[in-house]
A and B are shown apart, each in its own frame.
Chain A
Amino acid sequence: MNTLKITILLVLGCGIAILAADHQAVSLEKAKELGRMKSRFLKVTEADVPATGAIPKANLAHFQEAVGPVLKRSCLACHGPEKSEGRLRVDKLNPDLLIGPDVERWREVYNVLSNSEMPPEDEPDYALADADRGGIVDWLSSELNKASVIRRNKKEHSSFRRLTKYEYNFALQDLLGLTYALANKLPPETASEDGFKNSSELLQMSAMQFETYREIGRKALKRAIVSGERPKAVTYIISMQKEMDGAASAKNAKTFDKNDKSYRNNRNRQHLLNRETGKGIQFSSGKSMPQPEAVVGQTPAVSPVVLVLPGSNELKLNLDRFLPDEGIMRVRIRAGRSTMNPDEYASLRLVFSAHTSNNANFSQVISERDIPVTASAEAPQFIHFDIPLGDIQRNPFRKLTTTFPRRDEFLHIRNVSNATGGKEPLQVLIDSIEISAPFFEQWPPKTHTDIFIANDNKSDEEIYGRELLTRFLRRVWRRPVTSKDVGQFMALFAEYRPGFSNFEDAMLEVLATALATPEFLYLTQRVAANTPETPGTISDLELASRLSIFLWSSIPDDELLELAEQGKLREPKVLTAQVERMLSDPRSRRFSRNFVQQWLGMDGLESVTHITDNSLREAMQEEPIAFFDEVLNHNLGIMNFIHSDFALVNERLAAHYGIPGVYGPHFRKVSIEPQTNRGGLLTGAAVLAMNSDGKDSHPLKRGVWMLERILHDPPPPPPPNVPEVDLTDPQILKMTLKERIADHRNKPACISCHSRIDPWGIAFENYDALGAYRTQIKNKPVDATSKLFNKQTLAGMDGLKRHLLTDRQDQLARAMVHKLTAYALGRPLSFGDHADIDRLTAQFRQRGDHLGDLVHLVIGSNIFNSK
């Protein structure tokens, strides 16, 4: 008996093992291929999608004949007169989708049937044969599309909207040639239900907002435009040779020798070193005074005397109180690396501080990003930072005539590095530093001459004013301007001129007014008089603006404007080439950043407090953007967002994920093994961490995120009076998280929504609140297995990915098309857009799901070119 039992167990055991192995044999990459073959969109032809213009009719005959009876057989028991689960009665739905009131309900039916969520798998009596399911889905799909075309003409949403805060900032930067943030003063934007901040419905205008635009525009112009003589710069020049001479001649100077054994004690602190003689001296802070005669931008011979700055050390320079209030401070540092090990990096960062009295102090990073030091000490490089002095926290006491509170301001130059010491540690060696403000590359600066162009008419204010306004307004309004347009502004100029001592100052006020016009602040779409044959189409100029806002978050450049003015922009070859050009321009990084942050809801990372390591938080934020960039730039398939056999990481994030051999702060693509448990966006630490509650994972948040962001199937908002989970109940306290969720879900008020949300989130349970992989929670193995509403089992993250890739590719692809189109249009999509999105999805899938193709498809689409 016993032997038999064991044998049976063994056989069973083997069977399970074999089954499991069989299951595993299908790699996620293979699942992508298999899942793709199931696509409905691959079978769709252009003819299936009604063209705009034709008058569609409802196909009621097919409903009576084929659809109605099947629905009756498989659905009525739960969604009929006896029971109406989810308050749905299929027998009450009007089968005419074109004029009937039930389109939204039908769309839900369509969704649950096409995602195989209904009928439930454990109701075999009501199972739907594949052919029946397909029949209903096809009929519904076609009827929904027809209904969408009908409704399209009753258009509900418009892309006419003001620029967002970030678009306004970039538009102003690109227009005026200023490189630093200008619009911080504007209030933040609200995100739409889709997560987008550029959604027309939500972009309001108020008096306060309007006044802020005027203030920002005027201030930006004041920075771009100059008048009078070139201002004398305040310049500090710090030569390490001189510092060494000074320090060494001090009375009790403690010098040391590099060749002494005791050098170890000094090696890891900042010091001055003569690389020829080996003589060194400690040096961590200097005091410098402006040198009136100094000339900046020189390249003197490399000095043997250098400041040695080990990792995490800094030089603190006291600049006293002489830096000007406004203007750019250029900090120019000649630096090199002591060793060239490629796994180690070193970079420079600037910090600004003051300590005015006890407990009244501040210090702030003022450099926008760390700049890597890549050159060797023998052939050092110049690194420069440009800091807008008017925008950083300054010492308010710097102009006191008394000496207390203290007036001085400090500049810290910090070495940010991953070097860990050792015998030959990586250090940054600096031989000279120049600080100069206000700094101008040329005089007058380019920002000025771009507006006040050099030409022969300068002496005639009327002619010259018209000329420069014509140019300026064309950029501001993104269209050619008429002489009447210019006349309006010249009249204002004539009124202002007597109140100012020079032309430029008066003109500045006029230009500031131009920056407050609605045609600058809004993305306009005119009811065109000149293209009667295509009344719903936007003009070439409007297309140029829509394109640049989409891909650059800014206004068009001259090339784009010229093509639009010449009427060439819509020529397919020209358009494709322009999109390619725009995508390879650095400005397209704004697209990746803004789209990904909004699509994935990355703001959520700001509202969790449990990520205490700043460099980890920054790396988390950057990862999905870098990943998106990789997929976009190499035109890869979007199923990579679900799973990929590569990851984009930097050193900090690689350490977090347990990926070895990644050094340095920049993101790069690395191949990963399945046991890394990463790949795609779902397992990115940012997504996992922001959907946590501070201590632990939060399956509900993760589930909602999945449904909203990835599947575009947002759950309804929670009903009022939902019972809270009672954490004072000792029974509940004893439960594991998963048990607690199940307990909550089993309450009648909660079950219908939670059974759709929770299973998605539970599949993420192998990732903790920081997104680190785990196999145990409080010494118990992680249980990440869950069952979807349709009884489909998700075995953890791997199972989740497998399910999505095998069974839900159409939904994923359509969700991606929807999200990208909503962002590109800057308006919410509605039912009227259904047919367009379907058509786009079919084209996208048929072309192979490539992200780059999708961008081109969207731009070439009917919907993108419509008002």
Chain B
Amino acid sequence: MNHKSVQVSRRTFLRGSGVALALPWFESFAAGSPSADETPKRFVSIYHPDGVGLPLKSDPAWKDWSWFPRGGEKDFELTKVLDVLEPLRGDITVYSGLSHPAVRKVHGHSNADQYLTGAATGGHGPYQNSISLDQVYAERAGDFTRHSSLVMSTNGGIGGPRGAQTQSFNREGRPIPAMNKPKQIFDMLFVTSSKNAAARLARSKSALDLLIANTRSLERHLSGHDQETLKQYLDAVRDTEVKLSKAQKWIDTPIPKVDTQHLHLEAEPKEARLYFQTMYELIYLAFLSDSTRVATFQLGRENGEGPHDLLSKAVGLGGAHGLTHAVKQPKGWKNLGTYNRYQAEEFGRFAQRLKETPEPTGKGNMLDNTFAMHGSASSSFHLSRNYPIISAGGKNLGFTNGRYLKFGNGNEDNQAGAGIVSDAGWRGKIEAEELPLARLFVTILQRLGVETESFAGSTGTLSRV
């Protein structure tokens, strides 16, 4: 119902500013963007560092604790790591054989930075990243929500080059700081209203008025041809005005009211389960209230240290990063598998919650209109190949779930790089052929309604998805 009021106020606003509207803007608005009464299309990506367990077939642990499923596309069998997702089987897809080509031989610890960007971020020296998948979509989806995206991580901030603590990067490849305190995130979403923002907006509005007047007076002195050229400038100023009006509209629109009773906003990572579930719940609430349609959440930083390492406490284990180094110790694979299983369980709980909530516009449930991704930029120990990726939902976007999709060649049983515990692994020769993960990204973007043929220099979509 909240949605309806947004719609009305948008119309009012259009009528209000209609006199000054230039046609080209209006046309592009109508043609290129989803209209407000369409069901929201959402995207969320969860990133976990340090990869997953990948024992050799000859290892007794292989049967239960190897991350990837067994079997074919539809008759696949989940091991103990992912069997918590069995109840959601019809709503999930598991992928293998995908990775970003530029960093396949870079240490996995350096690669959280490029999971959603596909950039050649390298292992040392100068550093340059590029725009992340979520932000490409946010540029479009942000037109319709108060926040263009919600960027979260357990560690917060941006981290350092090759040690990102955020999954989101803007068009220039600069990191977007992630929020990590539930209380702050909640306040940002449902409490804050800024006086400063209103004052800034008013100043900008006056500046634009001056610029339009100034342009008008210049226009009179130009030839017809040159006036046409200057019109582009005028349109640009007007488009900016429209953006400001939009921002103003959000300032004027009451913030959705949310019942906080069930939320544990003071939870900290050391209260692993509580914290983890609260963060997921905040994404859920942001989506439900249509405060944003885009979210990323990074579980800590690569190479351990900090809050992320504490999440494994939820299942009674020590530092999460240490688990990946200790796989050859007694119960090693089991411990790592148990931790990954816990991550999958929480992801499943979140997906289930979306599934149980009818879409406010009445079109299916929320999960059907959300593409939720869960994955890491390494599979085996420090090995940045064959990313372990699960997706959930997206039925109404065109995704068919209940499948295990293997891509590439030469690694059908996911044994390339299995069982490695030394750095010879990630440095080693690339035996199997994998497909660029960016092709999945192109598929995702197209289904979210972004017209594009390529991402991070990789062209084309993934068949079968």
Contacts and interface: CB of A to CB of B under 8 A. Distances in A.
Interface of A: 155, 158, 160-162, 185, 200, 204-207, 209-211, 354, 356-365, 393, 395-397, 404-405, 488-489, 491-492, 495-496, 499, 509, 512-513, 516-519, 521-522, 524-527, 867
Given A360-B162, A496-B203, A206 B236 contact: yes
22 contacts: A155-B225, A206-B232, A207-B239, A210-B240, A211-B240, A356-B160, A357-B301, A360-B302, A361-B162, A363-B125, A396-B158, A396-B159, A405-B163, A405-B301, A513-B210, A516-B211, A517-B215, A518-B215, A518-B218, A518-B230, A524-B226, A527-B221
A205 B226 contact: no
Contacts of B243: 207
Q: Indicate the member of B172, B199, B218 with the most A CB atoms within 10 Å.
A: B218
Interface string B209-228: 01101110010011101100
B127 interface: yes
Contacts of A525: 222-223, 226
A204 B232 contact: yes
Contact of B229 (A160, A211, A365): A160
B257 interface: no
A158 B239 CA distance: 25
B123 interface: yes
Contact of B126 (A211, A357, A362, A509): A362
Q: Indicate the member of A354, A363, A405 with the most B CB atoms within 10 Å.
A: A405
B227 to A, nearest CB: 9
A358 B230 CA distance: 53
Instruction: Rank and list the top 5 A-B pairs by shortest CB-CB distance, nearest first.
Output: A360-B163, A207-B239, A359-B109, A210-B236, A160-B226
Contacts of B305: 357, 404-405
Contacts of B240: 207, 210-211
Contacts of A513: 207, 210-211
B163 A356 contact: yes
Contacts of B123: 359
Contacts of A362: 124-127, 160-162
A200 B160 contact: no
Contacts of A518: 211, 214-215, 218, 230, 233
Nearest to A521: B233
B35 to A, nearest CB: 20
Contact of A210 (B160, B230, B233): B233
A516 B215 CA distance: 11
B157 interface: yes
A358 B303 contact: yes
SS class, residues of chain A in contact with chain B: mixed
B57 to A, nearest CB: 29
Interface string B118-150: 000001111100000000000000000000000
Given A356-B160, A360-B163, A396-B159, A524 B218 contact: yes
A495 B206 contact: yes
B303 A360 contact: yes
B107 interface: yes
Nearest to A528: B221
Nearest to B165: A396
Nearest to B128: A393
B237 interface: yes
Given A492-B207, A518-B233, A359 B157 contact: no
B263 to A, nearest CB: 27
B110 interface: yes
B120 to A, nearest CB: 12
A358 B161 CA distance: 11
Contacts of B222: 160, 524-527
Contacts, number: 147
Nearest to A356: B160
A518 B110 CA distance: 45
A113 B177 CA distance: 65
A635 B214 CA distance: 44
Contact of B199 (A211, A363, A499): A499
A393 B236 contact: no
Contacts of A524: 218, 221-222, 226
Contact of B233 (A395, A404, A499, A522): A522
Contacts of A209: 236
A575 to B, nearest CB: 25
B126 A488 contact: no
B300 to A, nearest CB: 12
A499 B198 CA distance: 12
A322 B232 CA distance: 46
A499 B326 CA distance: 60
Interface in B232-275: 232-233, 235-237, 239-240, 243
Nearest to A526: B221
A165 B302 CA distance: 38
B181 to A, nearest CB: 15
A205 B160 contact: no
A373 B120 CA distance: 36
Contacts of A365: 126
Contacts of B203: 495-496, 499, 509
A155 B223 CA distance: 11
Nearest to A524: B218
Contacts of A512: 207
A405 B160 contact: yes
A158 B223 CA distance: 10
Contacts of A361: 124, 160-162
Contacts of A516: 207, 211
Contacts of A496: 203, 206
Nearest to B155: A405
B42 to A, nearest CB: 24
A359 B321 CA distance: 14
A671 B31 CA distance: 63
Q: Indicate the member of A204, A211, A518, A527 with the most B CB atoms within 10 Å.
A: A518
Contacts of B301: 357, 360, 405
A631 B126 CA distance: 36
A526 B226 CA distance: 9
Contacts of A354: 160
Interface in B146-188: 157-163, 172
A360 B232 CA distance: 44
A790 B233 CA distance: 50
Contact of A397 (B109, B160, B162): B160
A531 to B, nearest CB: 13
A521 to B, nearest CB: 7
A158 B225 contact: yes
Contacts of A363: 124-126
A782 to B, nearest CB: 35
Q: Indicate the member of B157, B163, B206, B239 with the most A CB atoms within 10 Å.
A: B163
A639 to B, nearest CB: 38
A292 B383 CA distance: 47
B145 to A, nearest CB: 19
Given A207-B243, A521-B233, A527-B221, A359 B163 contact: yes
A816 B446 CA distance: 47
B359 to A, nearest CB: 32
Contacts of B239: 206-207, 210
Nearest to A162: B233
B153 to A, nearest CB: 13
A155 B213 CA distance: 29
A492 B125 contact: no
Contacts of A211: 240
A404 B155 CA distance: 12
A360 B206 contact: no
Nearest to A213: B236
Nearest to B108: A359
A524 B135 CA distance: 37
Contacts of B126: 362-365, 393
A205 B236 contact: yes
Given A207-B243, A518-B218, 16 more contacts: A160-B229, A200-B229, A210-B233, A210-B240, A360-B160, A360-B302, A361-B161, A363-B125, A395-B160, A396-B159, A405-B301, A489-B210, A513-B210, A518-B211, A519-B214, A524-B226
